[in-house]
Amino acid sequence: MPSTPRDPRKPAGPGRNKKSGSPAAKGSGAPRGASRYGGPPGGLPDAPRRDEPQRTGVYRRSDSPRQQPTARQEARRPAPTAPAPTAPAVTPEPPRGPVIEHAPTIQARLADAGGALRRRRSDDVAGLHRDQLAEIYRYLFETRRLEEHLVALYRQNQVIGGVYRSLGQEGTAIGCAYALRSGDLVQPLIRDMGAMLVHGASPLAMLRQYMARGTGPSGGRDLNTHFSDPAVGILGPVSMLGAMIPVLAGCLLAARMRGEQRAGLCFIGDGGSSTGALYEGLNFAAVQKLPLIVVIEVNRYAYSTPTQNQVPDGDLVRRARGFGCWVADIDGNDVLACYQATRDARARALEGAGPTVIVADTYRRRGHAEHDNQAYVPAGEIQTWEAQNDPVERYARFVLDGGHLDEPTLAEIRATVESELDEARERAVAESFPDPATLTHGVYADGETPWPATETWFRGGPLHRERR
């Protein structure tokens, strides 16, 4: 019987079965797992040795050095094309969206503990009059002393949960919130109690809330700044931090559809600014040109992670420019700079210019909460910020040196605040936890509301809001 002619594409020789053309058995010379075409499994060329140049691209079987392409393969191979002409160099366009006061030295400020300090002229009061300057000092001092009362109560086991201080960064929350008007929405973080005090919450309400009293704004159901009443413009924080931005964006869209002129101010930390929800919400607000103001409080640490370890070069200004929004890079410990940036952002937003991202450079001098001993902070860093860049002391020195307020005025404010806080503390301590019989109130639509009326905790915002 005549033999079947050998397929010229199948190499003959040692290591092949002469009858079937299949690879030889183990020990016959062919590498185990070799392909029937003589190469490695899959028919691709042998992998180059370490000392050989690496080949790139998509390999074809005809590329193997062990065989030559057939005439049919040659006919199917596309004709070579001339290389595409090299495009001329194009200067990249600047990032979209106007930039306000973009400081290229942010990395240097991150490296220098006191480097965020930017001097303000003694006569630059941001257009505020004497009563307003005094009011701002009152909010600054009230916030710091109220937090000190809460720390003392925490150590006496009177506080339920933790205490999250804003020591060293009070100027950001107070200055930004002071620029809002009645009807605007504010959504703080747990460290922005000062913004809630400015927007109308009373110190007594905050004491009751931290101590889970049944008379508190949430009826003892929640803690710290976690309570809301959209009617007076206060939206509690969302624990999944970045989700606050799309929530507030949705509220502003609803207000627009109702024909209401309302701006919204939301705070987020440098850590929270890395969440995906923030990107989605801010992008939506930018596309819709919603009157949203997002303040990124760059306080140097996301719990214990330094900013430069979670953001490229620690530069949140560069990140903010990518949203196509207005961007303001400010000294967050200059309370008047915070006020100016928010005031201007609000005016632009209500004219249809869209959202603004305010990057506020500040510092958190206490841990994430009172249980955090800050072992991750370099030695001397906290003391440097306290000595060189305390927002309350800076503001007091500014109004005194500039002749805008005198020491007797500041002393009178401090005495009034101390008296009011002492009275509020004694009152809150004497009150009780929620009645267990009201456990299910507010869970079902039964008409029962376990929390007290807004009038019991809302004192109203700054005096200038209605007349300006």
Nearest in space to 360 (alpha carbons), one of 9, 43, 118 = 118
Confirm whether 15 is domain-assigned: no
pLDDT at 76: 59
Q: What is the mean pLDDT of residues 390-404?
A: 96
* Type and span of the H or E element at 7: none
**Given this model, what pLDDT does residue 21 score?**
45
User: What's the structural domain count of the chain?
Assistant: 1
Compute CA distances 189 → 173, 245, 295, whole Å.
10, 12, 11
248 pLDDT exceeds 50? yes
**253: in domain:** yes
Give the pLDDT mean for 152-165: 95
Q: Name the 3-class secondary structure at 268.
A: strand
pLDDT digits (tens, 9 = 90+) for 277-329: 999 999 999 999 999 999 999 999 999 999 989 888 888 898 888 888 999 99
Q: How would residue 449 be classed by pLDDT, with cut points 50, 70 and 90?
A: confident
The answer to whether residue 7 scores a pLDDT higher than 80 is: no
Determine which of 177-181, 366-370, 428-432, 445-449 has the lowest per-residue pLDDT on average.
445-449
- Tell me, yes or no, whether 20 lies in a domain: no
Q: For 160-187, what is the mean pLDDT?
A: 95
Q: What is the mean pLDDT of residues 401-419?
A: 98
HSE of 243 in the Cβ direction (CA atoms, 13 Å)? 5
Residue 69 is predicted with a pLDDT of: 57
How far, in Å, CA of 458 to CA of 359, rounded?
29
Task: Examine residue 297 and state whether it is found in any structural domain, yes or no.
Answer: yes
Could you list the residue range(s) of the whole structural domain that residue 134 is in?
Answer: 99-119+129-373+381-433+449-458
Coil, strand or helix at 250 = helix
Instruction: Report pLDDT for 44.
Output: 42
Nearest Cα to Cα of residue 333 among 383, 392, 381, 382: 392
Mean local confidence (pLDDT), 336-348: 96
Q: Is residue 115 part of a domain?
A: yes
Q: d(Cα 262, Cα 161) in Å, to the nearest integer?
A: 33
Q: List the one residue out of 52, 47, 84 whose CA is nearest residue 64.
A: 47
| Integer Cα distance of 149 and 123 in angstroms | 35
pTM for this predicted structure: 0.76
Within a domain: 387: yes
**Mean pLDDT (whole number) for 167-176:** 97
Which of helix, strand or coil describes residue 331? strand
Percent with pLDDT over 90 in the chain: 60
Mean pLDDT value across the chain: 81
- Average pLDDT of span 165-170: 96
Helices in 156-239 by DSSP H: which ranges? 170-177, 193-199, 203-210
Give the span between the Cα atoms of 316 and 307, in whole angstroms.
9
| 423 found inside a domain | yes
Structure tokens at 134: 């005094």
- Band of residue 439 on the pLDDT scale cut at 50, 70, 90: confident
Question: What CATH number is associated with residue 141?
Answer: 3.40.50.970
**Whether residue 117 has pLDDT greater than 90:** no
Task: Quote the pLDDT of residue 401.
Answer: 95
Please report whether residue 69 resides in a domain. no
Cα separation, 429 vs 149, in Å, equals 12
Contacts of 93 (CB under 8 A, 6+ apart): none
Pairing status of strand 305-306 against strand 264-269: unpaired
Return d(Cα 184, Cα 465) in angstroms, integer.
11
CA triple 198-227-415, angle to 5 deg: 35
Q: Which of 42, 43, 36 is nearest to 16 (CA)?
A: 36
SS3 234: strand
Q: Is the pLDDT of residue 176 over 50?
A: yes
